[in-house]
Structure 1
Amino acid sequence: MTVDPASKNAELLSDLVIHVAETTRTLCGVSDEKAIEVGQAVADLMAHIWGGQLIYFPKGMIRNLSKRDREIYAEFNGSNHSALAKKHDVSIQWIYRIIEKVRLEEVALRQPNLFNFPPADR
């Protein structure tokens, strides 16, 4: 299956080709042609597997945590809020929020939900 970039219905698949190609080029160091070939193959596979379905991509908390937030959490020792704020050029209040957000996600990963309710976003 080849994606027709002129087709309005193919916009998602065309974007997928572009993003996969850019990522492949960056991470794998392949030529533009090979990267586009990989992007096209991924788009074709997604169209074959999920074609005709309404797909929702969740924005889970774990995927929203930035590399910087994880670094801040890893550097946190329980009493260095101010030093972390200076180092990462954010407010102390922001450090508290980051620590709490990552801590909640770490707990959610280790502790099952007792009543199978979805976790509350904070």
Structure 2
Amino acid sequence: MSDLNQFRSKGPELLVELAQHTSETVREIIDIEPAVADQIGQAVANRMMQVWGGQNVYFPMGMVWKVSQRDREIFLEFDGRNHHELARKFGVSLQWVYSVVKRVRKEELDRMQGKLFDGEPDTDTGKKE
């Protein structure tokens, strides 16, 4: 019996499922041989066992992250005139689309501008050479 088959048959259910989901995800993302994806899945499961073995680990639903992803999609699909279409597509109110566009636009501007306006003095001014 191969190590992979032994892992699947005798490994803890949670780790076996983690390995399988990891393998499937890797194959969805990149073109890779199933056997290599399975090895990656098993390696991830083994690492989680080493890092968190014996602990109760809670996996959050990730709602904030999901909402953030959805909001980013709304912003990326926004063309200036499709508020109603986006509200229907994403199942949110028209007002929510307006607020998402405004908020994400501000986040993008802040990100692009960096620390230009954060009140920190310019480190190059006032120096004597």
Q: TM bucket by the smaller chain?
A: 0.5 to 0.7
**Alpha-carbon deviation of 1:97?**
3.2
Post-superposition shift, 1:93?
Answer: 5.2
Check 1:46–1:92 CA distance in 2 against 1; reply closer, same or farther (3 A cut).
closer
Provide the TM-score with structure 1 as the length reference.
0.59
Which secondary structure does the structure 2 equivalent of 1:20 belong to? helix
Identity %: 34
Counterparts of 2:24 and 2:74, CA distance in 1: 29
RMSD of Structure 2 on Structure 1 (CA): 3.6
Counting only pairs closer than 5 Å after superposition, residues 1-122 of structure 1 correspond to structure 2 as 4-6=7-9, 10-65=12-67, 67-74=69-76, 75=78, 80=81, 83-86=82-85, 89-90=88-89, 94-97=93-96, 100=99, 103=103
With structure 2 as the length reference, what TM-score do the two structures score? 0.57
Alpha-carbon separation, structure 2, partners of 1:93 and 1:64:
14
Contact 1:13 1:43 in 2 (8 A): yes
Total equivalences in the alignment? 101
What is the Cα deviation at residue 45 of structure 1? 0.6
Deviations 1:10-68 (A, max 9, x none): 12111111111011112221100000000000000100110000111233444212655
The one-letter amino acid paired with 2:93 is W
Structure 2 spans left out of the alignment, 5+ residues: 112-129
- Cα offset, 1:85, TM superposition: 2.4
Task: Name the CA distance, whole Å, in 2 between partners of 1:20 and 1:68.
Answer: 23
Q: Which letter does structure 2 place at the counterpart of 1:84?
A: H
Task: Rate the CA distance shift 1:22–1:93 in 2: closer, same or farther, 3 A.
Answer: closer
- The one-letter code sitting in structure 1 at the alignment partner of 2:12 is A
Asked whether the equivalents of residues 72 and 84 of structure 1 are also in contact (C-alpha less than 8 Å), the reply is no
